[in-house]
Chains A and B, each alone.
Chain A
Amino acid sequence: MPASTSFRLLETEADGALERARSLSPDETIAVVERSGLRGRGGAGFPLAQKLRATRTAATLAGAAYVVANAYDADPDSPLSRTLLERKPDLVIDGLAIAAHVVGAEQCYLYLHPEATRARSCAEAALSRRIESLQEAGTRVAIALGPGGFMGGEESALLAVLENKRAMARQRPPWPAEQGIALRPTLVSSAETLAALPPIVRDGPEAFRVAGTAGSRGTKLVSVTGAVASPAVYEVAFGSTLGEVIQAAGGVTTALKGIHVGGPTGGILNATRTGVRLDYEELKAAGTHLGSGQVRAIPEGVCIVNEAARLFSYLARETCAICVPCRVGTKRVGGILESITSGLGRESDLPWLAELADHLNEFSLCGFGITSASIIRTTMSEFPDDYRTHIVEGRCPTGTCTPVRARRYETMAQP
Chain B
Amino acid sequence: MSLLERYTQPAESQIPTVSHHGEIPSGQPTCTIEIDGQEVTAVVGEAILRAAQRAGFDVPTLCDDEKLAPAAACRMCLVEVEGFDRPLPACHLPVQPGMKVKATSDGLFKMRKQNLEYILSDHNAYCMPPCQIGCPTHIDIPGYLELMAKGQHVEAARLVKEVLPFPYALGLVCPRPCQEVCRRGLIEEEIAICQCHGYTGELVMEMEKAPTPFPQESATGKRVAVVGAGPAGMTCAYYSALKGHAVTVFDMMEKQGGMLRYGIPEYRLPKVKLDKELNSVWQLGAEFKGGMKLGRDFTIDDLFAQGYDAVFLGIGAWASNELRIPGEDLPGKIEAISYLRANASGEPVPVGKGSKVVVVGGGFTTFDCARSSRRLGADVTVVYRRSRKEMGAHYSEVDDAEHEGIRIEFFSAPVRIVEKNGRVGGVELQRMQLGEPDASGRRRPIPIPGSEYVIECDTVIPAIGQVPVLDWYDHAPGLRKSRRETIVTNAALMTDRPGVFSGGDCQMGTVTVIQAVAQGKLAAKAIDRYLNGADMARVAAEITEEESVPELIDIVPYKPEEPQVRMPFLPFEERMQSFELIESGYSKAAAEKEAARCLQCVCPDVGRCHLQRLSVEHGLTENRFHRAEPLDYHDYEYDLSHDFILRDLNKCINCTQCVRICRDVIGANCYGLMGVGYDSIVTTPWNVSLSYTDCVSCGACAETCPTGALMMRERELQTYELDITRCIYCGDCVEVCPHAALGETPNFELSTYQRFGATVLAKEELAVAGTWRPSETIPLNGQRSPVRPPEVRPPAPPRWGA
A interface with B by C-beta (< 8 Å): 149, 166, 168, 170-171, 173-174, 178-179, 183, 316-325, 327-332, 335, 339, 352, 355-356, 358-359, 362-365, 370, 405-415
Chain B, 658-674, contact with A by CB distance < 8 Å: what is the 0/1 string?
00000000000000110
Give complex CA distance A170, B71 in Å. Answer: 8
Give complex CA distance A359, B181 in Å. Answer: 34
B interface with A by C-beta (< 8 Å): 2, 4-5, 8, 70-75, 78, 86-89, 92-93, 111, 114-115, 118-119, 121-122, 130, 133-134, 181, 550-551, 553-554, 621-629, 632, 653-654, 656, 672-673, 675-678, 680
Which chain B positions have C-beta within 8 A of A362?
86-87, 111
CB pair A328–B119 under 8 Å, yes or no, is yes
CB pair B2–A179 under 8 Å, yes or no, is yes
Give complex CA distance A356, B550 in Å. Answer: 23
CB pair A179–B621 under 8 Å, yes or no, is no
Which chain A positions have C-beta within 8 A of B130?
415
Give complex CA distance A409, B551 in Å. Answer: 18
Partner of B551, one of A328, A365, A414: A414
Partner of B628, one of A358, A363, A365, A408: A408
Given contacts A323-B72, A325-B75, A412-B626, contact A171 B119 (CB under 8 A): no
Partner of A363, one of B111, B121, B625, B656: B111
| Nearest CB in chain B: distance from A323 CB, A | 5
Partner of A413, one of B87, B622, B627: B622
Which chain B positions have C-beta within 8 A of A355?
114
Give complex CA distance A217, B111 in Å. Answer: 37
CB pair A166–B673 under 8 Å, yes or no, is yes
Which chain B positions have C-beta within 8 A of A322?
71-73, 654, 656
CB pair A413–B621 under 8 Å, yes or no, is yes
Q: Which residue from chain B places its CB closest to the CB of A352 in the assembled complex?
A: B624
CB pair B93–A324 under 8 Å, yes or no, is no
Given contacts A363-B111, A414-B550, contact A323 B75 (CB under 8 A): yes
| Nearest CB in chain B: distance from A349 CB, A | 10
Which chain A positions have C-beta within 8 A of B8?
183
**Interface centre among B2, B74, B78, B119, by most A CB within 10 Å?**
B2
Which chain A positions have C-beta within 8 A of B551?
414-415
Which chain A positions have C-beta within 8 A of B550?
414
CB pair A325–B118 under 8 Å, yes or no, is yes
CB pair B680–A321 under 8 Å, yes or no, is yes
Which chain B positions have C-beta within 8 A of A316?
677-678
Give complex CA distance A358, B70 in Å. Answer: 25
CB pair B677–A317 under 8 Å, yes or no, is yes
CB pair B118–A317 under 8 Å, yes or no, is no
Closest 8 CB pairs of A and B: A321-B680, A413-B622, A171-B72, A328-B118, A412-B626, A174-B2, A317-B677, A414-B621
Which chain A positions have C-beta within 8 A of B654?
321-322, 324, 327
CB pair B625–A409 under 8 Å, yes or no, is yes
CB pair A411–B626 under 8 Å, yes or no, is yes
Which chain B positions have C-beta within 8 A of A407?
627-629
Partner of B627, one of A331, A356, A410: A410
Q: Which residue from chain A places its CB closest to the CB of B549 in the assembled complex?
A: A414
Partner of A319, one of B86, B89, B111, B678: B678
Give complex CA distance A358, B111 in Å. Answer: 9
Which chain A positions have C-beta within 8 A of B625?
332, 335, 409
| Nearest CB in chain A: distance from B88 CB, A | 8
Given contacts A352-B624, A359-B114, A406-B629, contact A171 B676 (CB under 8 A): no
Given contacts A321-B673, A332-B121, A409-B626, contact A327 B678 (CB under 8 A): yes
| Nearest CB in chain A: distance from B554 CB, A | 7
Which chain A positions have C-beta within 8 A of B623?
411-412
CB pair A409–B628 under 8 Å, yes or no, is yes
CB pair B622–A411 under 8 Å, yes or no, is yes
Partner of B4, one of A183, A324, A358: A183
Which chain A positions have C-beta within 8 A of B677?
316-319, 321, 327
CB pair A328–B678 under 8 Å, yes or no, is yes
Given contacts A317-B678, A325-B115, A411-B622, contact A405 B629 (CB under 8 A): yes
| Nearest CB in chain B: distance from A73 CB, A | 18
CB pair B628–A324 under 8 Å, yes or no, is no
CB pair B4–A174 under 8 Å, yes or no, is yes
Q: Which residue from chain B places its CB closest to the CB of A404 in the assembled complex?
A: B629
| Nearest CB in chain B: distance from A369 CB, A | 10
Q: Given A318-B676, A322-B654, A323-B75, 14 more contacts at CB 8 Å?
A: A171-B70, A171-B72, A171-B89, A319-B680, A322-B656, A328-B118, A335-B629, A352-B624, A363-B115, A409-B626, A410-B624, A411-B622, A414-B551, A415-B551
Q: Which residue from chain B places its CB closest to the CB of A321 in the assembled complex?
A: B680
Give complex CA distance A332, B678 in Å. Answer: 10
Q: Can you identify 30 A-B contacts, CB atoms within 8 angstroms?
A: A149-B676, A168-B673, A171-B70, A183-B5, A317-B677, A317-B678, A321-B675, A321-B680, A322-B71, A322-B73, A323-B73, A323-B75, A324-B74, A324-B75, A324-B119, A325-B114, A330-B678, A335-B629, A352-B624, A359-B111, A359-B115, A363-B78, A364-B75, A365-B72, A407-B628, A408-B628, A409-B627, A411-B622, A411-B623, A411-B626
Give complex CA distance A321, B654 in Å. Answer: 8
CB pair A411–B72 under 8 Å, yes or no, is no
Give complex CA distance A321, B87 in Å. Answer: 19
CB pair B118–A332 under 8 Å, yes or no, is yes
Give complex CA distance A365, B134 in Å. Answer: 39
Which chain B positions have C-beta within 8 A of A324?
73-75, 115, 118-119, 653-654
CB pair A415–B628 under 8 Å, yes or no, is no
| Nearest CB in chain A: distance from B653 CB, A | 8
CB pair B678–A331 under 8 Å, yes or no, is yes
Give complex CA distance A359, B110 in Å. Answer: 9
Q: Which residue from chain A places its CB closest to the CB of B8 in the assembled complex?
A: A183
Give complex CA distance A409, B118 in Å. Answer: 12
Which chain B positions have C-beta within 8 A of A178?
2
| Nearest CB in chain B: distance from A313 CB, A | 10
CB pair A405–B628 under 8 Å, yes or no, is yes
**Interface centre among A355, A370, A411, by most B CB within 10 Å?**
A411
**Interface centre among B8, B114, B675, by most A CB within 10 Å?**
B114
**Interface centre among B75, B88, B550, B629, by most A CB within 10 Å?**
B75
Which chain A positions have C-beta within 8 A of B626?
409-412
| Nearest CB in chain B: distance from A360 CB, A | 10
Which chain B positions have C-beta within 8 A of A166?
672-673
Q: Which residue from chain A places its CB closest to the CB of B5 in the assembled complex?
A: A183
Which chain B positions have C-beta within 8 A of A171?
70, 72, 88-89, 92
| Nearest CB in chain A: distance from B128 CB, A | 10
Given contacts A331-B632, A331-B678, contact A179 B114 (CB under 8 A): no
| Nearest CB in chain B: distance from A254 CB, A | 33
Q: Which residue from chain A places its CB closest to the CB of B118 in the assembled complex?
A: A328
Which chain A positions have C-beta within 8 A of B553?
412
Give complex CA distance A364, B4 in Å. Answer: 19
CB pair B624–A415 under 8 Å, yes or no, is no
